[in-house]
Amino acid sequence: MNPQNFRYSKEHEWVGPVSNGVALIGITEYAEKELGDIVFLDLPPVGSQIQQYKKLGEVESVKAVSDICSPVSGVVLEINPSVMEHPELVNTEPYVGGWLLKVTLADLKELDNLMTAEEYEAWLTQVSTK
Amino acid sequence: MGRGIEMEKTLKRTPLYSSHLALGARLTAFAGWEMPVTYTSIIEEHQAVRSRAGLFDVSHLARFQIRGKGAESFLQRLITTDVRRLVQGRCCYTLLCKEDGGIVDDMMLFRLGEDAFWLVSNAANRAKVWEWLNRWKSTVDQLSLQDISEETIMMAYQGPSTARHLDSLCGETCSLLPRFGCTQTKLERYEVLVARTGYTGEDGFEFVASSTDALPLWNLLLQMGAKPCGLGARDSLRLEAGLLLYGNDIDEGINPYQARLGRLVHLEKGDFVGHQALKTIKEAGIKQCLVGFEMIGRGIARSGHPILASDQEIGRVTSGGYAPSLRRSIGLGYVPTLYTASGTRFLVGVRGRPVEAQVTILPFYRPQAGGQG
């Protein structure tokens, strides 16, 4: 289940609960299942500027590599150390232990460009039955 | 992060297709076939083969029957190994080479009788090999060639527990087979050709059976506790074992010496297609050679990535990926012979980012002591 209080992008990234302008970023369960076993993550260092819908890094599974596009603009505050050591956390806990970055959001209004859990799930049924 | 490959209507399906769907397989197009990539997780399937038993549908591989009084001399003319050294009930890994020494295909040759052989070659090369066999057919009398890929199926049953499991289905026929031994037997009531071979670096067996027995045989082996495995694990297993993939690591532009398959070139056996060229290549020595390497820096090498040294591109990665049993990233590629010693460092350009790598001894992975690998 996709958490109700998160927002989702069409590139299958999520932005987590916002508090004091800070939020977590990760990839969705759908994306993690599509990719299969995740074995490598390439993420920007702390302090990097990230931009909504722009590539922020790469996620690599046994079979393939994929770009990670940022769901929001902001500055990287922290990289999840556990996920760098154990990328498989993205598969087992995409919304909990498998978060990728903690970021300071540049513009809270950007969240309105993203989908709610309900909208994302409705959109997924469209994409996956195409 | 899209859905992947759109299935074309023209893709061939093996008789086990419905079973793959029922098992929840993710399918992909491979060499004209719609085949399972994975059923649950590539890593889980990989580990099942390393620790217990995995079952692969490899019916997409090309199978040819070569029979008749002329079969031995025909094969002797075409393959690079000495067919007279292949006794009945044994199989071997061998090559077909062009006149210039380039590799037409790599394959398994089974000797079932004095005048009866089976060839198992790459799915992608089925038409090419069939044409190649027929092109040289007229040089020999009393020869029958048959493509039996459609009327038969093939499964690979791989892992350290497989021999023990098979005892309950066929007595000790399978577990007493030596590595590279082959025989005709029955698994319960199903006729199979069994060989103690595989493409995983682990002990295991490969079966060829009638297409009509595909489903019951597949289910029989699954009931023994085998995990169904797809092409994803097949690729990660073979890479760890240092086994080459035609179309990636070898092709018609590569000769066996470059691919470190010189042991398969038996120049002393007498003339065969490519003999003269291979003799010349061997005497002159090669400039580029296949190496195995592991990544030291963070990054995963993939096929097609450049290999760099002193700001120059010195070669290309031909296979690369994450090795689940070694928990690191490994690869194969061609570099100048100067760079082939174990421990030599170079860089791999991982999507524009240079990442350090180090030449290692092949294979990357060897089975635990006591295994038959």
CATH for A51: 2.40.50.100
A58: Cβ–Cβ under 8 A, 6 or more apart, which residues?
Answer: A40, A41, A42, A65, A66, A67, A68, B351
Dist CA B329 CA B105 (whole Å): 27
pLDDT exceeds cutoff 60 at B371: no
Q: Are residues B200 and B319 in the same domain?
A: no
What is the total count of domains within chain B? 3
Closest residue by Cα to residue A37 from A74, A87, A85: A87
**CA of B319: which chain A residue's CA is closest?**
A63
Look at residue A1 in the predicted model and tell me its pLDDT. Answer: 80
Provide the domain limits for residue A62. Answer: 7-129
B372: pLDDT confidence band, cut at 50, 70 and 90?
Answer: very low
What is the average per-residue pLDDT within A3-29? 95
Q: Report yes or no on A1 lying in a domain.
A: no
Q: Report yes or no on B174 lying in a domain.
A: yes
Using CB atoms within 10 A of its CB, is residue A28 exposed (0-12), middle (13-18) or buried (19+)? Answer: buried
Q: Report yes or no on B235 lying in a domain.
A: yes
Q: Report yes or no on A107 lying in a domain.
A: yes
B42 to A62: CB separation less than 8 angstroms, yes or no: yes
pLDDT exceeds cutoff 50 at B335: yes
A65 to B300: CB separation less than 8 angstroms, yes or no: yes
Out of B122, B147, B172, a domain closes at B147
pLDDT exceeds cutoff 50 at B3: no
Q: Report yes or no on B226 lying in a domain.
A: yes
Q: Are residues B136 and B167 in the same domain?
A: no
Q: How far is A20 from chain B (nearest CA, A)?
A: 31
What is the average per-residue pLDDT within B80-92? 97
ipTM confidence:
0.84
- Say which DSSP state B200 is in: S
pLDDT in tens, B260-303: 999 999 999 999 999 999 999 999 999 999 999 999 999 999 99
Q: Are residues B52 and B66 in the same domain?
A: no
Look at residue B373 in the predicted model and tell me its pLDDT. Answer: 39
Provide the domain limits for residue B137. Answer: 62-147
Look at residue A92 in the predicted model and tell me its pLDDT. Answer: 96
Hey, what are B138's tokens? 């007229």
Q: Report yes or no on B262 lying in a domain.
A: no
**CATH (domain of B315):** 2.40.30.110
Q: Are residues B74 and B215 in the same domain?
A: no
A129: pLDDT confidence band, cut at 50, 70 and 90?
Answer: low
Dist CA B298 CA B330 (whole Å): 12
Q: Report yes or no on A105 lying in a domain.
A: yes
**CATH (domain of B49):** 3.30.1360.120
What is the average per-residue pLDDT within A73-96? 96
What is the total count of domains within chain A? 1
SS3 state of residue B47: helix
CB pairs under 8 A between A and B: 54
Q: Report yes or no on B99 lying in a domain.
A: yes
Look at residue B46 in the predicted model and tell me its pLDDT. Answer: 98
The average confidence (pLDDT) of chain B is 95
Q: Report yes or no on A100 lying in a domain.
A: yes
B170: pLDDT confidence band, cut at 50, 70 and 90?
Answer: confident
pLDDT exceeds cutoff 70 at B52: yes
